[in-house]
Amino acid sequence: MIELAVGGKRDLVLANPAMPAAGVFGFGDEYARLVAIDKLGALVTNPITWTPRAPASGPRVVAMTGGMLLHTGLPNPGMSRAIRQYRDVWAAFPAPVIVHVVATNLSDVHRCCAALDTLEGVAGIELGVHDQATAAEVADALREAARATTLPVIARLPLLRAPELAPAAQDAGACARWLWARRRADDARPRHRAVRRRPAVWAVDQPLALRAVGQAASQVRLPVIGCGGIHAREDARDFIDAGAVAVQVDAAIWVKPGILEEIAGELGGLDATRVAGAWPDEW
C-alpha cells in the first residue's frame, strides 16, 4: 500500500504504484475492455476545466520519428457536466479516482475542487500546473484548492521547472507531486501546417524525467510520482529506484494497452510499496 496524502486530512492510498497519466485513459472506463482496470493503482482522468472546452482546430496529431506531436485543446464537457456524466463510473471504479483539474484562475480552482469534494469514488485531485506558471502562482493555486476541498491535491509540475516549483508546492500543502508535463515542441514544417508548440511525446524524455525525479526525491519529503517516457517494466522500475513512490504511464498505453498491466504486475508488492522517506527497515 502506498500513501500519497502525507499529512493530509484524508488518505489517498494506492494498492499498486502504476496508474495512467492524465489525458491518456479517458474520463472513466474507456479502456475497461482492453486493460484490467482493477489492477491499476488509480485512475487519473483526462483534464477537466470548470467551463466546457472545445477541441483544438486544425491537425492535432503528427507522427514523428520516435514520437509524436499532440494537441487536443484539452476538450472536456466542463466540471458540472463531467460530474453528471461520470459520477456513477467513478463511484463504481475499482481503484481510487484522481480527477485532473485544469484551471486558469483561482476562482475556477476553488469551484472545481469544491465540486469534487464529496463525490463518491473521487479520492484525490491532480492540479495541472501550466509550464509558464510562477512559484507564487503555484502556491496560490494549491492554497486555494486546500481551502475548497479536504481531498488530497497532487501538483503536476512541468518537468524542466520542477526544482524551481517544488518548494512552493510543498509549502502550499500539496500532498504529492507528479513531475512531468509533456514538453512542448516546435514544428513549423509546411506539411504540418498549424502544428506548433504542441505537447510532444518522445521516449527520449525518460532520462530527463528520471533525473528530475531523483533530484526531487532528495529535495523534499513529499511523495513523488514519476512520469515521462515509460515504455516498459524496466523503465517504471528505474523511476522507483530513482525515488518515485508511484509511476504514471503516458502515451505508451495507446500503443500497447497491455503495458499498464505489465507494469502494475511488475511493481505491485515490490520496492514500490516503500513509503517515500521511510528507511529500508521501516517497510
- Rule CB under 8 A: which residues touch another protein? 23-26, 30-31, 33-34, 46, 54-55, 58-68, 70, 72, 75-76, 193, 201, 203, 231, 251, 253-258
Contact 171, 144 (CB under 8 A): no
Residue 94 or 277 having the CB closest to another protein: 94
Q: What is the Cα–Cα distance from 109 to 139, expressed in whole angstroms?
A: 12
**DSSP class per residue in 201-227:** EETTHHHHHHHHHHHHHHH-SS-EEEE
Cell of 75: 476538450
Q: Strand 61-64 relative to strand 67-70: parallel, antiparallel, unpaired?
A: antiparallel
Residue 53 or 274 having the CB closest to another protein: 53
- At closest approach, how far in Å is the CB of 81 from another protein? 10
Residue 255 or 278 having the CB closest to another protein: 255
Cell of 10: 484524508
Cell of 196: 506548433
Q: What is the Cα–Cα distance from 280 to 162, expressed in whole angstroms?
A: 26
Packing angle of the helix pair 135-148, 106-116 (nearest 10 deg): 30
- The residue ranges of DSSP E strands in 117-230, in sequence order, are 122-128, 153-156, 176-178, 184-185, 198-202, 224-227
Residue 127 or 251 having the CB closest to another protein: 251
Contact 222, 91 (CB under 8 A): no
Residue 5 or 253 having the CB closest to another protein: 253
Helix, strand, or coil here: 224? strand
Q: What residues form DSSP beta bridges with 101? A: 48, 127
Of 230, 227, 201, the C-alpha closest to 213 is 227
- At closest approach, how far in Å is the CB of 236 from another protein? 15
Residue 257 or 277 having the CB closest to another protein: 257
Residue 254 or 265 having the CB closest to another protein: 254
Residue 92 or 255 having the CB closest to another protein: 255
- At closest approach, how far in Å is the CB of 234 from another protein? 14
Of 96, 172, 90, the C-alpha closest to 129 is 172
- At closest approach, how far in Å is the CB of 66 from another protein? 5
Q: To 10 degrees, the CA torsion angle through 129, 24, 91, 275?
A: -60
Residue 232: CB atoms within 10 A of its CB come to 16
- At closest approach, how far in Å is the CB of 57 from another protein? 8
- At closest approach, how far in Å is the CB of 188 from another protein? 17
- At closest approach, how far in Å is the CB of 162 from another protein? 25
- At closest approach, how far in Å is the CB of 148 from another protein? 26
